[in-house]
Structure 1
Amino acid sequence: MDKVRFGIVGIGNMGKGHEGYFAKNEIKGGELTAMVDTDPSKLDWARCHYGDRYQLFDNLDAFFASKAFDAVLICTPHYDHPTVAVAAFKHGYHVLVEKPAGVYTKQVREMNEAAAKSDKAFGIMYNQRTNPLYQKLRDLITSGELGEVRRTNWIITNWYRSQSYYDSGGWRATWAGEGGGVLINQDPHQLDLWQWTVDMMPMRVRAFCHFGKYRNIEVEDDVTAYVEYENGATGLFVTTTGEAPGTNRYEVTGDRGKIVIEDGKMTFWRLVVPEPEFNAKFKGGFGSPECWKCEIPVKGSDGTQHKGITQNFVDHILKGTKLLAPGEEGIKGLTLSNAMHLSTWTDNWVDLPINEDLYYEKLQERIKFSSFKKVTSELKHMDVSGTH
């Protein structure tokens, strides 16, 4: 194989966005050959704008049977990500899925199991992993430069969304339509980076989610979560869609200093002597380790983003390049958001891995009374419009 042919599932905002870089031939060794959507209006739009550039399908059965592609790029609504992925694996296709991996970990675990049984590549569109700031942070932590992690703190409150945004679609900010609010729609990238950069997951979570605090919605729009790690470190994650102006500040403290990412810059307050060593030797009463403020140079700005993940996926298939965002890792960030919901619903600590059956039960209770009634259907009738 010298080229990977892609088929996009869902001609919504995300599907159209991915089509853009394929149309400009920006993916070396990759091309877009097919698209599918069950919404006739979106297919009409595609015919009008794309002409006969791609094979277009109105149902997944015909799409999968066509063999007009080698890999699928899934851009459907959240709930359908795992279902479409499992079907694609069964039909022998490589799979690249948009974030989040799904809505609940029980379903995503089934997707991961299907991937493991196949011999196909599996990736997830965690495009923020291409950002050199977070790549550098991960390198400084995993190399031991920061020492043992003691505290993580991410304030990500610059997700401002007005009521008119939520009113623009009946599925928005509903348990049945999206499966959550700020945690499942806006924060999947940060939840992924939170565990990816420090290379560890918490062992337990205590969270306080507020549902419809600032907007007339049924899901969470304000969250404060506290986590504990196995090594004794602690963490805090604060997010909302109801504050202006917002903040995006990620701070990680280790026993060799602290690193802060804010306003597109990385600052490393590096201790000359590790704190435990200073503490063991210092006899002067008041005092603290000598600290150097280092502005860490980082090449690039936001990274290669979506097309970078797609290029890496193609290179993995054609050249064996290591995946930057393996699809199996999508369950990690989702586990954090599920744990935050479950902690709030049970008003208690939640140990990781979470009780997936209990989470599913609690989610179904909310879906039952959701203002948006999701219509369950067979694959061939599935909504694949991808209106993220």
Structure 2
Amino acid sequence: MNKLRIGIVGLGNMGMEHAKYLIENQVKNAQLTAVSDISLERLKQVAEQWGSDVQRFESYEALFKSGTVDAVMLCTPHYDHPRLAIEAFTCGLHVLVEKPAGVYTRQVKEMNEAAAASGKIYGIMYNQRTNPLYLKLRELISSGELGEIRRTNWIITNWYRSQAYYNSSRWRATWAGEGGGVLINQAPHQLDLWQWTTGLMPKRIRAFCAFGKDRDIEVENEVTAYVEYENGATGVFVTSTHETPGTNRFEITGDRGKIVIEDDKMTFWRLRQLEPEFNRDNTSAFAQPECWKFDIPVAASVTQHLEITRNWTEAILQGTPLLAPGEDGIKGLTLSNAMLLSTWTDNWVELPIDEDLFYDKLQEKIRLSTKAIR
């Protein structure tokens, strides 16, 4: 295969964004050859903009079986991602799925199994993994520069959404339409980066979610979660969509210092001596280890969605390792499912979660919904 023929399923905001850079030939050795959408009006607009070079299909099934594509990008509503991916693998297609991987881990596990059985390249649009800040953070932690992690703390509250945003579509902020709120729609990138950069998944979670706080919606729009890790470290994750001005601050403490990412900058307070060693040898009541403060240089930001698509294309054509393997999507989703389940049961949730219990609780929310039904 010299050139990858790509199809896009779903021409909403993200689908059109991906289509634009493919049409402009910004991905080497890749070509947008087909699209599908349930909106005939949107398909008509595609015909007017791009002509006959891009074939149009009214159903994803027709696109999958058309022979016009080698790989597909899935940009549909959350619930559809696993089902469509599994069908695409069955048709022998490579898959790049938009975030989140799905709504509940049970269905995402099935998608991961189908991907493994197919032998096809399976990626997820975790575009924040291309952000030089988080690449550098992951490098510093994995190299041991920060030492053993003791605490993580991420406050990500700059997701402000007004009531007008929620009113813009009937499916928004509903259990049936999106399957959740800020955890499934706005914060999946941070939930992924939280575990990807540190290399740690919690062993248990206690969360407190507020549903429809200061907004006429039924899903969570404020979350405070406390986690515990196997090594004894702890963490806090705070997110919301109803407060402004918001904050985006990620702080990680190890036994060799502290790293903070805020305002697109990284600062490293590095201890000259490991804290356990200092503590062992120190005899002065109020002494502290010597600490050096560094502003860590980070490369300029890149076009993140484009970079993930380029990497996925190179993985298919050249065998380049994936920066965001699709199988990783279940990790961040496990965290969001656990936070909701902890709130619904008013208790700690051990990882791995009880997938059947989460599914049953979600279905109950959908049945009792007074909002739009998908």
The TM-score range, normalised by the shorter chain, is: over 0.9
Deviation at 1:172, TM superposition (A): 0.2
Matches within 5 A, 1:3-152: 3-152=3-152
- For the 8 Å contact 1:141–1:198, the answer to whether it is kept is yes
What amino acid is aligned across from residue 315 of structure 2 in structure 1?
Answer: H
Residue deviations 1:289-329, cap 9 Å, x none?
0000000000112x330010000001111111110000000
TM (normalized to structure 1)? 0.95
Matches within 5 A, 1:1-388: 1-301=1-301, 303-370=302-369, 371-374=371-374
Residue deviations 1:244-287, cap 9 Å, x none?
10000000000000000000000000000010010011011111
What amino acid is aligned across from residue 39 of structure 1 in structure 2?
Answer: S
Alignment coverage as a number of residue pairs:
373
SS of 1:52's equivalent?
Answer: helix
Q: Distance in 1 between matches of 2:88 and 2:191?
A: 26
With a CA cutoff of 8 Å and minimum separation of 6, indicate the structure with the bigger relative contact order.
Answer: 1
What amino acid is aligned across from residue 324 of structure 1 in structure 2?
Answer: L
SS of 1:268's equivalent?
Answer: strand
Q: Distance in 1 between matches of 2:210 and 2:160?
A: 15
Deviation at 1:2, TM superposition (A): 1.3
- The aligned counterpart of 1:378 is none
Q: Distance in 1 between matches of 2:289 and 2:214?
A: 43
SS of 1:221's equivalent?
Answer: strand
Q: Distance in 1 between matches of 2:23 and 2:40?
A: 22
Deviation at 1:146, TM superposition (A): 0.3
SS of 1:51's equivalent?
Answer: helix
TM (normalized to structure 2)? 0.99
Deviation at 1:9, TM superposition (A): 0.4
Q: Distance in 1 between matches of 2:119 and 2:184?
A: 29
What amino acid is aligned across from residue 339 of structure 1 in structure 2?
Answer: A
5+ residue gaps in structure 2? none
What amino acid is aligned across from residue 209 of structure 2 in structure 1?
Answer: C
What amino acid is aligned across from residue 340 of structure 1 in structure 2?
Answer: M
- For the 8 Å contact 1:171–1:372, the answer to whether it is kept is yes
SS of 1:6's equivalent?
Answer: strand
Q: Distance in 1 between matches of 2:60 and 2:321?
A: 30
- For the 8 Å contact 1:214–1:221, the answer to whether it is kept is no
Deviation at 1:369, TM superposition (A): 2.1
Residue deviations 1:90-130, cap 9 Å, x none?
00000000000000000000000000101100000000000
Residue deviations 1:7-64, cap 9 Å, x none?
0001111110001111111101111100011221221222222221201000122211
5+ residue gaps in structure 1? 375-388
What amino acid is aligned across from residue 237 of structure 2 in structure 1?
Answer: F
Residue deviations 1:137-192, cap 9 Å, x none?
00000111100000000000000000000000000000000000000000000000
Q: Distance in 2 between matches of 1:61 and 1:138?
A: 39
Q: Distance in 1 between matches of 2:167 and 2:188?
A: 22
Deviation at 1:6, TM superposition (A): 0.4
What amino acid is aligned across from residue 120 of structure 2 in structure 1?
Answer: K
Same amino acid, percent of matched pairs? 67
What amino acid is aligned across from residue 98 of structure 2 in structure 1?
Answer: E
SS of 1:8's equivalent?
Answer: strand
Q: Distance in 2 between matches of 1:53 and 1:168?
A: 33
Q: Distance in 2 between matches of 1:61 and 1:260?
A: 46
Residue deviations 1:310-363, cap 9 Å, x none?
000011111111100000000000000000000000000000010000000000
Runs of 4+ in 1 over 4 A off after TM superposition: none
What amino acid is aligned across from residue 184 of structure 1 in structure 2?
Answer: I
What amino acid is aligned across from residue 104 of structure 1 in structure 2?
Answer: Y
The CA RMSD measured in Å over matched residues stands at 0.7
Deviation at 1:3, TM superposition (A): 1.3
SS of 2:53's equivalent?
Answer: coil
